[in-house]
Structure 1
Amino acid sequence: MKKIFIAVISISLLVIGCKTENGTSKSTSVETNNNSETEKTSSVDDGSGDAICLLDKLSVRETPSGKGKWITSMSLGEKVYFTGEKYIDSVSKKDYFKVKLIDGKEGWSRAPFLAVNGKVGVMVKNASVYKRPDLLTKTENEFSPMDIIAVIGNQDDWIQVKGKRTTGKYIEEVWVKSNNISDKSVDIATAKYASIAMTKPTMTERIKALQEIVENSDFSESIFINLINEKIKDYESKNVPVDVQDVKVEE
């Protein structure tokens, strides 16, 4: 009987030792060091994960500072990995995130221009901007077709996005209707190259760059091909060469 009593007590102590404060089971490992016991616990979530670059040619630097050694740059819409490491410059008060690129390069970039845990998308038409997922919060702003953004949340038929509007000055976090966005890689890529083409210094260069996109079979399935063709016609109408016969030559 005494042996049975001791066995029961031992089992009870073992069960109690495997309970957490809320009564649920928990597995722990204990290390003994100089007769002291240290319980190992899982690390706190540091927020690491995939991130979307929201600014074309965003710099990646060796140190979290505007004066840090330049390593490379990222492209608008590019997906990178956020390591979870953050830093606030004590002088400029600017936030930095440490990122890892697909080719293995690592460095620091400005936090406001990254959307952690976001998914890249592109606007397919003019899209009204809302402060919240409610029709009563409509603003006077809107996104334009081919604006590349990051999707950071959703609610019913609403999508929360982070990005810069063509007509805007800053990165914004706002809401739009979900039917305004495409997540197809061909649409995102076409929009990216078209935006570069439309920043060329002369009309002739813009027309040539846009025609190269239209003629590239890799982009033929994009929803933006017709829009680009319309843009080419618009540029051509504005690119009428000066008639030399109408120019008065000073003698």
Structure 2
Amino acid sequence: MKKIIIAIISLSTILVSCGTEGGKKSDKTVEDQTNEVKNEDAVTEEVSDDKSGDAICLLDKLSVRATPDDKGKWITSMSLGEKVYYTGESVTDSVSKKEYLKIKLIDGKEGWSRATFLAVDGKVGVMTQDANVYKRPDLLTKTDTKYSPMDIIAVVATQDDWAQVKGKRAEGQYIEEVWVKADNISDKSVDIAAAKFAGLAMAKETMTDRIKALQEIVDNSDFSETSFMDLIKDKIRDYESKNKAVDVQDVKVEE
């Protein structure tokens, strides 16, 4: 009888002991899982705070400087539509109140540029035709302004068949952030490049220089597939017509 009682007591002790150890093990597992969740939350929070990413330059010859201010040492300049890398660092000049972003170019150069003329997380595009401007992605918010063909912009958001764009209109004075119908935009590199060089050509001082620069685009086989070829040829004919009119006027004055 004594042997039976001792056996029962021993068995009970073992079960209690195992239960305690099991409880400790379970508690430790919960604690580990909790820590893992906290760690995952911390990582998620860190990623969400990271503002770095690609950015699009919205102004031709935009300066890149060594320090975040207008008097900083000039390093280089960027091209309209050029894609750069935004490091996530930003500084607001205490005097001018202008915000600067630190960027890195494809050749490795780093510096600071005005935030106003950069579209972070944007994708470069170009208007293929006249595009009505809207305040919001709603036909009821149409404005009296339009984008023109070959206007280079950055697409910063999309919604259904709408695109939110940031850029300067050919007839505008400032960088705007508005909505247009997405089917008005081309993201083809040949269209973007042709539009960029056509814009530089049309900004030249004399009609003769404009004609020459536009003709160079037409003659360049690299641009043969651009959807703007007919438009560029029309511009050449228009400038040639105006040039002839000026020549005729000069002849009449001389007579």
Q: Does 1:137 align with 2:137?
A: no
1:184 — aligned with what? 188
Q: Residue type matched to 2:76 in 1?
A: T
After superposition, what is the alpha-carbon deviation per residue over 1:67-99, rounded to whole angstroms, capped at 9, x for unaligned? 000000000000000000000000000000000
Gaps of 5+ in 2: 1-14
Alpha-carbon distance change, 41 to 156 in structure 1, aligned in 2, over 3 angstroms: closer
Task: Map residues 186-225 of structure 1 onto 2, 5 A cutoff.
Answer: 186-225=190-229
Q: Quick one: which amino acid aligns to residue 157 of structure 1?
A: D
Q: Distance in 2 between matches of 1:246 and 1:28?
A: 84
Write the distance in 2 (CA, Å) between the matches of 1:53 and 1:111: 10
Please identify runs of 4+ aligned residues in structure 1 that moved more than 4 A: 242-245
Kindly report which structure 2 residues correspond to 1:228-247, keeping only aligned pairs within 5 A, or say none: 228-240=232-244, 241-242=247-248, 246-247=252-253
The CA RMSD over aligned residues, in Å, is 1.9
Aligned counterparts of 2:95 and 2:240: Cα–Cα separation in 1: 49
Say which SS state the counterpart of residue 239 (structure 1) adopts.
Answer: helix
Do the aligned partners of residues 193 and 27 (structure 1) sit closer, same or farther apart at CA in structure 2, a change above 3 Å counting? same
Query: What aligned pairs does 1:97-112 form with structure 2 within 5 A after superposition?
Result: 97-112=101-116
Is 1:16 equivalent to 2:30 in the alignment?
yes
1:246 Cα deviation after fit? 3.3
Aligned to 1:26: 37
**2:178 counterpart residue number:** 174
Question: Percent same amino acid at aligned positions?
Answer: 66
- Distance, in Å, in 1 between the alignment partners of 2:191 and 2:110 is 28
The correspondence for 1:4, drawn from 18, 23, 29, is 18
Greater fraction helix: 2
Secondary structure of the corresponding residue to residue 18 of structure 1: helix
In the other structure, the counterpart of 2:5 is none
Structure having the higher Rg:
2
3-state SS of the aligned residue for 2:17?
Answer: helix
CA contact (8 A) 1:58 1:73 kept: yes
Are the equivalent residues in 2 in contact too, given 1:60–1:70 (CA < 8 A)? yes
With normalisation by structure 2, the TM-score equals 0.88
Pair 1:83 & 2:87 matched: yes
**In 2, Cα distance between the equivalents of 1:92 and 1:236?**
45
In 2, the alpha carbon distance for the partners of 1:26 and 1:11 equals 18
Question: How far apart in 2 are the matches of 1:193 and 1:244?
Answer: 31
Separation (CA, whole Å) in 1 of partners of 2:251 and 2:195: 40
Structure 1 residues 47 and 139, CA gap change in structure 2 (3 angstroms): same
TM-score (norm 1): 0.89
Count of aligned positions: 236
Alpha-carbon distance in structure 2 between the residues aligned to 1:51 and 1:148: 14
| SS of alignment partner, residue 132 of structure 1 | coil
Secondary structure of the 1:77 match is coil
